[in-house]
A and B are shown apart, each in its own frame.
Chain A
Amino acid sequence: MKKFFRGTYLAMILAFLYAPIVVLMVLSFNASKSRAQWDGFTLQWYLELFSRKDMLSALYVTLSVAFLSALIATILGTTAALGIHFMKKRSKNFVLGVSSIPMLTPDIVIGLSLMILFLALRFSLGYTTMLLAHVAFNVPYVIFSVLPKLKQMNAHLYEAALDLGARPAIALWRVILPEIMPGVVTGAILSFTLSLDDFVVSFFTSTTVQNLSVMVYSMARKGIHPTINALSTLMFAAILALLLIVNKRAGLDNVM
C-alpha cells in the first residue's frame, strides 16, 4: 500500500516535470502552427530548423563557446590549482576567497559587470567577449574541482619521481597529472555544461553574436514558434541519449 503511494507521488512529480516537454515534442510534429489543433503529422519544422542560418549559427556558437571555454578554463584552472596548492596560507586564502566570488555572484551581476569591463576596455561585444566571459565563470569551478584531488594526492610521489631521476616537468606530467585527472575531468565537464546552458552572461556580453539560449529568448518573447519546438525535441533526445550512455558506462553516481 505504501509502495503504491510512493509510486503515485513520484509519478505525479514526473508528470509535472515532463508535461511541458512532452507537449512541445508533440507540437513539433504538428502540421499547423496552432497550439490547439492537430493538423496532421509533419517534419517540416525540423527541415525548417536545418535551413535557418540563424539557428544553425546559434548552435555553432553555443557548442564552440562551450568547448573552447571549457578547454581554456581547464588549462588555466589546473595550472592555477597547482600554483595555489603550494602557496603560503595567507595568499592561498586570499586567492581562494576571490576565486569563489564568481561562483557566489548571481549571473546577472557577473554578466553586467563583465559588460561594463569590456565596454570600458573599448572591446566590441561579440564572440570573443562572450568566450572570455564564459572562461571567467568556468575557471573557479575547475580550480575547486582540482584542488581536492591535489590535497588527497600523496606529496611524496612527486619527490620519489625526482629521486628516481625525472626532471620536474616530466615528474609533473607523468606523476601529478594522472593523479589529479579525475578532478580535471570533472572541472572540464562542469565548465562545458555551465557554458552550454548559459543565458544571462551570454546575453549581456555579446550583442552581435547569439548563442542558442539568447536566440530562444528573443524568439520566445514574440511568442511560440514551431521550429523552437523541433529544437527542444532534438535537444531533449540528445541529452536523454547522452545521460543513458553515461549511466550505462560509468554509473550515474559519477555524474551526480
Chain B
Amino acid sequence: MKHRNLFAMPYVLWMILFTIVPFFLMAYYALSIEGTFSLDNIRLFMDPIYLDVLVRSLRMAFICTLICLALGYPAAYFLASKDFNSIGVLAVLFVLPMWMNFLLRTYAWMALLEDSGLINRVLLFLHLPKAKLLYTENAVLMGMVYNYLPFMILPLLSVLKKMDHRLIEAAEDLGAGRRQVFMRVTLPLSVPGIVSGITMVFMPAVTTFVISRLLGGSMFMLFGDLIEQQFLVTGNWNFGAALSMVMMLLILLSMAILRYFESSATEGGNPT
C-alpha cells in the first residue's frame, strides 16, 4: 500500500494533542506554583491530613477487592460448573447490573440505606433500633462492593468456563481429592481471571469519588474526592495536579505488582 504510512497520521496527531499534551500540562501544574518550578505541591501532599485520605482510599479499595473476590469467586465457580447450556438467562442476570448506569446503581443504594429507606423500615418493623446507614464508611464500602462485584465475577467466569475440564479429569484419575483438584489445578489456572478481576475492581475503587460523595456525604473524603475538590472547589490546580500524578503513580505501581504476581503464578501452574 503506497500511502500506508499516512493512514496513521491523523491519529498520531490526535494522540499527541489529546494524550501527550494533557499529560504534560498536568505535570506542569503539578511541578510548579505561579509558573515557576516548585516541589511544594508534593511536599504539601506529605501532610498527615492528606496521607490519611490516601491510606483510607487504599484500605477501602483493598477491603472492597477482598470482599468482591470472596463473594465473586464462588459465584463464578458455581455459574461455570452449572451444567445447563453455556451462557443462559442466569448469566444475563448477573451481567445486567453491570450494564445499568453507574450513577443509578449507586443512587439505588441511597434509597435503601437512608433513614427513611427500606432497610430501616424493616428494622423498625422488627422493633429494632434505627441504624444510621447512609453517610458512613460502611455505606461507601457496600456501595463499592455493589458496583464492582459484577466486574470481578465476569473475568473469573470467563476463565473458569474456558478451563480445560480434561485437566480436572486427569487429576481425578491420578487420585486427587476434590480439595486437591481445586487447590492445585483449578485455582492456579484461574489466576489470570483473578488478576483481571482484581485490576477491574481495585483501580476504580481507589480512584472513585462518586460513590464516596453520594453514599458518604460531603464530609467523607477519598482520594478522588480530594482531587475533585482541589480542582473545582479550592481552585488549587497545582496541588490537584500533583495529587493526580500521585494517583497515576499508584495505579502504575499496583499494575506492576499485579503483573508480577500473574507471571510468577502462571509460570508455576503451567500445565505444559
Give residues in A with beta carbon < 8 Å to B.
6, 9-10, 13-14, 16-21, 23-24, 27, 34-36, 76-77, 79-80, 82-84, 86-87, 95, 98-99, 101-102, 104-109, 112-117, 120, 132, 136, 139, 143, 158, 168, 172, 193, 196-197, 199-200, 204, 212-213, 216-217, 220-221, 224, 228-229, 231-232, 235-236, 239-240, 243-244, 247, 251-253, 256
Contact = CB atoms under 8 A, between A and B. Distances in A.
A193 B92 CA distance: 16
B260 interface: no
Contacts of B94: 13-14, 17
Contact of A80 (B8, B20, B154, B203): B8
Given A20-B105, A106-B203, A213-B103, A10 B78 contact: yes
A21 B240 contact: no
B97 A35 contact: no
A247 B104 contact: no
Given A80-B10, A136-B18, A232-B104, 11 more contacts: A10-B78, A82-B7, A107-B207, A108-B227, A108-B228, A109-B244, A112-B231, A112-B240, A232-B101, A253-B87, A256-B87
A107 B206 CA distance: 11
Contacts of A35: 111, 114, 116-118
A224 B101 contact: no
B100 A235 contact: yes
Given A168-B2, A212-B101, A224 B114 contact: yes
B121 A36 contact: yes
B121 to A, nearest CB: 5
B167 interface: no
A253 B121 CA distance: 41
B32 to A, nearest CB: 13
5 contacts: A20-B105, A23-B118, A84-B8, A136-B14, A213-B101
Nearest to B22: A113
Q: Is the interface of B mostly helix, strand, loop or mixed?
A: helix
A232 B18 contact: no
| Most-contacted residue by chain B among A20, A82, A113, A251 (CB, 10 A) | A20
Interface in B8-24: 8-12, 14-15, 17-23
Given A14-B93, A104-B251, A220 B107 contact: yes
A236 B18 CA distance: 34
Contacts of B251: 104-106
Interface string B131-151: 000000000000000100110
A187 B29 CA distance: 34
B266 interface: no
Interface string B235-259: 0010011001001100110010000
Given A108-B228, A112-B244, A113-B22, A256 B108 contact: no
Contacts of A105: 248, 251
A48 B26 CA distance: 43
A232 B100 CA distance: 8
Given A14-B94, A17-B94, A77 B11 contact: yes
Contacts of B231: 112, 115, 204
A117 B118 contact: no
Contacts of A213: 101-103
A240 B99 CA distance: 9
B230 to A, nearest CB: 10
B171 interface: no
A75 B209 CA distance: 32
Contact of B95 (A23, A101, A220, A256): A256
B91 interface: yes
B118 A120 contact: no
Contacts of A87: 5, 8
B19 A197 contact: no
Contacts of A193: 99
Contacts of A168: 1-2
A253 B75 contact: no
